[in-house]
Chain A
Amino acid sequence: MPLEIITQEQEQGAQPGAKKVPNAAKPEPQAVHQDVAAPPVASKDSGPPKRSESFVFGIPQNGLTSKQREVPVDEPPPLARNADLRYIGKPTARYDGPAKAMGKGKYTADVQLPGMLYARMVDASVPHGRIVSIDTAAAEKLPGVRAVYVVQHTYGLAELRDPKQETPSRYPLIRYAGQPIAGIAAVSPQIADDAAKLIKVQYDPMPFVVDRTEARAADAPAVFPGPADAAGSAGGGGGPKGVPQVGNVHGPQRKQTGDPAAGFAAADVVVESEYFTQVQTHSALETHGFVVDWKPDEVTVYASTQGTSSVRNDMADVFKLPKSQVRVITEFMGGGFGAKFGIGNEGAVAANLSRMTNAPVKLMLDRRQEHIVSNRPDSHQKLKIGAKRDGTLTAIELTSYGTAGVGTGAGTAGPATNLYTCPNLLTEEYDVFTNAGPGAAFRAPGHPQGCFAFEQAIDELAVKLAMDPIALRDKIDENQARRVERQLIVERTNWRNRRPAGSDAGPIKRGMGVAQSVWYRFVSMNSSCEVRVSRDGSVELMSAVQDLGTGTKTMLAIVVAEEFGIPPGQVVIRIGDTRFPVGPDSGGSVTAGSITPAVRNAAYQAKQQLFAAVAPQLGTTPDNLHLAEGRVLFKNDPSRSYTLKQITGKLPTDEISARATRGPEYAKEKLTYGGVDYVELAVDTETGRVHVEKVFGAHDCGRPINPTGVISQINGGILQGISYALFEQRIMDRKTGYMLNANLDNYKILGAREVPEIEIELVENYIAQSSTDAAGIGESAGIITLAAAIGNAFFNATGVRMRSIPMTPANVLAALGKVPGQPGQEVQA
């Protein structure tokens, strides 16, 4: 399902990472909602004064037009298209590149504070059971150990609707192996490790189940004794609440439009198919972790987080602290991909240990724990698609089952619901509880799974209709950006030379395929910043927003630079600190679209203040001044100009500053983004290795601010998508409930030799919705499409359709009928 977003209102629950979505703003089923945070445009007499402006609109390949919008009067004039701008849209080197390349960037894992203690998390060694006793005495006695904290409440799991269904116990019930039990703080990490081995836990084990299929059985061990619901995080994820639950099967979340039965009756062709996807773990290189420095007047939290605000909110909720006494800092961050919001168990434990010891405490999860703390749920999807002979869709039906372990959020209906026009739709999404670590938001929650099934089923339909897969999509896809993107693929790749399925005679078979993504325009109103201009001409931007590695700092420097006419490198960016104005939590590709308008508006307002302050001394009016190429110019006298520094030197005070907050979208419209990815691959049918040789990706992210950073993120999405399609899978031991490959040698992620040639084309898409028209790219960047595009190319290469991922030698050779005792799949030409 589409991700839900943050607004200024927040729930009062004390669950860390609880989804901060007011009920009133819950998205309608299947609604593609850009406007959750943007209430209906207020009537003109109640909102801020507006003026009318003409905005550049559309996609350059289709010819740009203009769009008239009412905008608040304090906002800057509309931006021109990127081609006519100085810094926006121009490839720009990463702001913090040198710090990262030189090893100087201080990540949370790198923070060292005087007197800091090192903490280690102790976790459960049974997948289901009651803790009878925890003996911490030996650990506490070990020289160098300063404190042991036993977890009182575990966050991140679903919770029983009726807690009385479970006998209360002193310790949280264990529902998955690896569930946090205690934290130890010691003077060195080695002593913390030694002490962890001394904690003795006695369990009363209970029956468990870790396999999705087994968990659906009527007699399967119950993960929860009654209906249970899970909150998502500020980054999304999380399943529906209050739906039916039978045994471990939670759902369905049922959504219907039109009359699917009538739609199938009207169809000329019907495709029915089943697809399976695996559990993927986030595997961010920096594990989840915190350094908490608890002092009476202020608690400072260094967090490896995607949301400084989410951490601050959780700290305030859990520890009943005023937010004014919580400071969260995320200067450098080693990847999150959706899993790092709020304080989680590790943040809560670190904070408790810091409070107990009166010392700063660092708690980083180890790699094994990182694999268990969060994941992308798996799926079993049944799809039925009906169409007319010309390709027009008449009905879509999707049933999906997936396990998010002890959490929920395995729904996959996004692509089936939102990619194409179809009047009749029925989706039923089920979560299946298992005794495994909780699912979490993971780069485009639900969509890679959904797309793997749905976009292959669309290709199956094309086969049945004897239509070119791109021609079919041209018929059923109304999205203008994807239309342009498909055209780029036809023109720039080998698509026109596409051969019938299974054309190669030898063991190596080549093929090509495409798949499309959909993502949604989400905006967070918690997007504020301050721009300061000092008398010496220096310009600073401050916001609590964080940079996960996506290039937020660079993007913001570019926006300020454009307004001030100075190179981005001259703008100082200070972000990732809640002492600055609140910033959006970075999930759901929300950051660029949310914070850049606030930044541009603040920069513009600071500039206006500057002009107003100095114009009298220059013998002119503020509106006669403008800034370009580092100089203040006079509109009525091109011969007259000053450097920025000369002008700021005339300021009456040392500093001027402007603060701005994201305003509502200019118009209430349902907007989505999309990409189309093309894959060429070779299947070695005797080893089962799939070699992706070429990817051409055409992607839309509104107005690209820094194409360099956008392309880097798309590279990342494509490569993570290949990794998901071919290599990654969590392997659980069904007999004991342990994850067997919680490391980076048997949990396999793509390496250098699996990198294909990649070509990326950015499609500018001006939507006239904010003062920048920027949008995020994190979700729609390849991660959604690649498994499906590889599946479609695999079919084109071999005539066999891969219905499950990862496409490992084991799965590929089985599908090809090369494994004794396994029949394989019928080859289709």
Chain B
Amino acid sequence: MADEHKSTFSRRGFLKGAGVAAATTAVESANALAREAQAAAQPDPTLGPGALPVKLRINGQDHAVTIEPRYTLAETLRNNVGLTGTKVVCDRGSCSACTVWLDNVPALACMTLAIDATGREITTIEGLATGDTMHQVQAAFVKHDALQCGFCTPGMIMSCAALLERNPNPRLADVKHAVSGNLCRCGTYPKVFAATLEVAQQRQQTAGLVGLTTGKEA
């Protein structure tokens, strides 16, 4: 009896509590869930501490993973989803190597609980390119040799690409500010700056050309 009670609550809690969109298994029919919902007036929304299934939306695709609440997003991406482009370096939010975008805002995957990333759009370095075609910032990093060992590179690129999304015309100081939390041990910074500023310039030129064309047509 006690067990049944507990399982009812926890299952219901897990569906409602955290906005976790779990994959409904065959035994959990919609009718059964509805009966449980009526039965439990004060459901316990507590999840864990054991593993539970959650759905993460990563690079535009849903991924069902089984995780404990204590798993960080970085651990989950790397060990459970197999997306190892996101690097863990300091594991304390001091180096920004694990930078991903949560709802298009740069965030630290090592200081985010994976369970707290449910319902958010997660973009990792693997999601920046279009198929085999690199994002402009990625291409510029390669062109300028803005990477050496490459371990800071995914985080660096996620920071720089985000900067250009919110500030299309950055100055050098803006780029430095945007990557002021990204540590690099090989010393790629000067080329990171050059690569990012060049993409901004390219985009400005492209935008300018579009403007001109429109002008002529008008």
Contacts and interface: CB of A to CB of B under 8 A. Distances in A.
A98 B154 contact: no
A753 B190 contact: no
B155 to A, nearest CB: 10
Interface stretch (A243-251, A548-556, A672-680): A548-556
Interface stretch (B3-11, B19-27, B31-39, B92-100): B92-100
B142 interface: yes
Interface in B48-100: 68, 70-71, 75, 78-79, 82-92, 94-95, 97
Contacts of A332: 150
Contacts, number: 170
B182 A752 contact: yes
Contacts of A711: 145
A737 B137 CA distance: 45
Interface stretch (A45-53, A101-109, A206-214, A820-828): A101-109
B185 A337 contact: yes
Given A112-B82, A743-B90, A100 B187 contact: no
Contacts of B189: 715, 719, 752, 755
Given A189-B75, A367-B91, A101 B157 contact: yes
Interface string A334-355: 1101000000000000000000
A124 interface: no
A106 B147 contact: no
B199 interface: no
A220 interface: no
A270 interface: no
Nearest to B158: A103
B148 interface: yes
A717 interface: yes
A101 B90 contact: no
B183 A103 contact: no
B176 A752 contact: yes
Contacts of B181: 751
Interface stretch (B101-109, B123-131, B203-211): B123-131
B85 A103 contact: yes
A549 B185 CA distance: 11
B212 interface: no
Contacts of A753: 176-177, 180
Interface centre among B83, B87, B186 (most CB of A within 10 A): B186
B150 to A, nearest CB: 3
A548 B79 CA distance: 24
B151 A101 contact: no
Given A98-B142, A189-B75, A335 B147 contact: no
A185 interface: no
Q: Is the interface of B mostly helix, strand, loop or mixed?
A: loop
B14 interface: no
Contacts of A716: 148, 185-188
Chain A interface size band reads: 35 or more
Nearest to A193: B70
Given A102-B134, A712-B188, A758-B190, A744 B94 contact: yes
A744 B141 contact: no
Nearest to A366: B91
B151 A286 contact: yes
Interface in A73-95: 93-94
Contacts of A715: 187-191
A98 B145 CA distance: 10
Interface string A541-573: 000000011110000000000000000000000
A285 B147 contact: no
B90 A744 contact: yes
Contact of A93 (B70, B85, B145, B175): B145
B125 A285 contact: no
B68 A101 contact: no
B120 interface: no
Interface centre among B154, B182, B187, B193 (most CB of A within 10 A): B187
B2 interface: no
A285 B148 contact: no
Given A102-B126, A744-B92, A551 B148 contact: yes
Interface centre among B154, B176, B180, B185 (most CB of A within 10 A): B185
A743 B90 CA distance: 7
B150 A549 contact: yes
Interface in A741-766: 743-745, 749, 751-753, 755, 758
Contacts of B79: 112, 118, 188-189
A332 B85 CA distance: 12
Interface centre among A94, A285, A749 (most CB of B within 10 A): A285
A102 B138 contact: yes
Contact of A107 (B92, B125, B151, B191): B151
B39 to A, nearest CB: 32
21 contacts: A97-B147, A100-B147, A103-B126, A107-B151, A284-B151, A285-B87, A285-B151, A334-B150, A548-B149, A708-B145, A715-B187, A743-B90, A744-B95, A749-B185, A751-B181, A751-B182, A751-B183, A752-B182, A752-B192, A753-B176, A755-B190
Which 7 A-B pairs give the minimum distances between C-beta atoms? A103-B85, A549-B149, A716-B187, A100-B150, A334-B151, A103-B125, A97-B142
Interface of A: 93-94, 96-98, 100-107, 109-110, 112, 118, 188-190, 283-286, 332-335, 337, 366-367, 548-551, 708-709, 711-713, 715-720, 743-745, 749, 751-753, 755, 758
Given A715-B188, A720-B185, A743-B92, 5 more contacts: A102-B126, A285-B183, A367-B91, A715-B190, A755-B189
